[in-house]
Amino acid sequence: QVQLVESGGGLVQAGGSLKLSCAASGSISSINDMGWYRQAPGNQRELVAQITSGGTSNYADFVKGRFTISRDNAKNTVYLEMNSLKPEDTGVYYCYAYSIFRTLRFDYWGQGTQVTVSS
């Protein structure tokens, strides 16, 4: 079993920056990809960025060039560096991870951290 604990959310002005952190504990060796989703009020949860255990990254089009995802396997932590923030980036950001055991896939979610960007 894996637990994910997020930190780093807050209130910033448009154009500012935030760095989110997600620390994993439990059965760490079983984790494959990790990443971040977000959910704005009234909207569905959407993928922001993901990263493999080998460091290969993938980004949603609306954050390319502004956000950077990274992973420190020694610290069991994934980060999301957010720059040039816009009001439309406001929402709850959730860390996720998944693991595979034989043919079974297990998905894990953090509690979420609020990011608010003022105009």
> Which of 1-5, 21-25, 99-103 shows the lowest mean pLDDT across its residues?
99-103
CB 117 within 8 A of CB 12: yes
SS3 63: helix
Specify burial of residue 48 (Cβ count, 10 A radius: 0-12, 13-18, 19+): buried
Pairing label, strands 31-39, 10-13: unpaired
Mean pLDDT of 29-43: 92
Q: What is the 8-class DSSP label of residue 30?
A: G
For 50-107, how does the pLDDT look when each residue is reduced to its tens digit (9 = 90+)? 999 889 999 999 999 999 999 998 888 999 999 999 999 999 999 999 988 888 899 9
For 103-113, how does the pLDDT look when each residue is reduced to its tens digit (9 = 90+)? 889 999 999 99
